[in-house]
Amino acid sequence: MKKNLLHYGLQRSGTNFMETLLLKNFRINFLNSNLDRSHPIQKHFRLYDEKHLMPDPQYNNNLTYKNFQEYIDSLGSVPHIDGVIVVSKDPYSWLTSYKKWGAKCNWPKVDHHYAEEYNLFYKKWIEFSKEDSRILFVKYLDLLTAPAEQLVKIENELELKKNWISKIKGIQSSLKKVSHSSAFTSNRLDYYLNKEYLEDYTQGELDEINQKIEPEIFETLGYQISTKK
């Protein structure tokens, strides 16, 4: 029997990459839907309380949650959920990509710093993870640099079953491209490994990002605070 999963992450966090890798290897269903971006079943759903901090009006919603069970209840009629994967990039590479994506999609100008969305989004998921062991955090960079190792980790954590291809040929960890992203190249990998995205920021801009994101977010997601000093 296939396991039923949900996956979440801010736009430009690697959700499509992670989803494609898992579907390529395991007997799973992803229950997320993109039909309504204000619905909690949508993978970029803004679950935090501060509803004025939205990138685009289509994500506006008035749903707030005291606990994870309330969140599950708000999904409506869905099968039993076997696991929830929350994907992230480090805030610096994410912000560079997020701003470019917003410009491409003609998002309206906002009065807040996008890093506030990052902080609130992952803070809420971290709170939920303290209530339910089904929630698993995955780093996009780990999927890029050690995909086979990460897939085995996810397999073990969520007790997934391999599909017939990965049973016969082993874990399939190679992807050339996924939707809404450019092709994967060695230059792209170097961009993340060498933190070339930090060149997009002044020290003052890095300081501002670091002030917007709480230390617990860095620690729990597994990132280091970056500076140019």
Could you read off the pLDDT of 160-192 as tens digits, one per residue? 999 988 888 877 777 664 555 555 667 778 999
Residues 135-145 as b/e (b if ≥16 CB within 10 A, e otherwise) read: bbbbbbbebbe
Domains along the sequence of the chain with CATH: 3-221 (3.40.50)
The predicted pLDDT at position 179 comes to 54
Strand ranges in 113-187 using DSSP code E only, listed in sequence order: 135-139
The predicted pLDDT at position 181 comes to 54
| Helix ranges restricted to H, 58-202 | 68-74, 91-104, 114-129, 140-145, 147-158, 164-169, 186-193
The predicted pLDDT at position 208 comes to 98
pTM of structure: 0.92
CB 140 within 8 A of CB 97: no
| 3-class secondary structure, 7 | strand
Q: Which residues does the chain have with pLDDT short of 70?
A: 175-185, 229
The predicted pLDDT at position 182 comes to 56
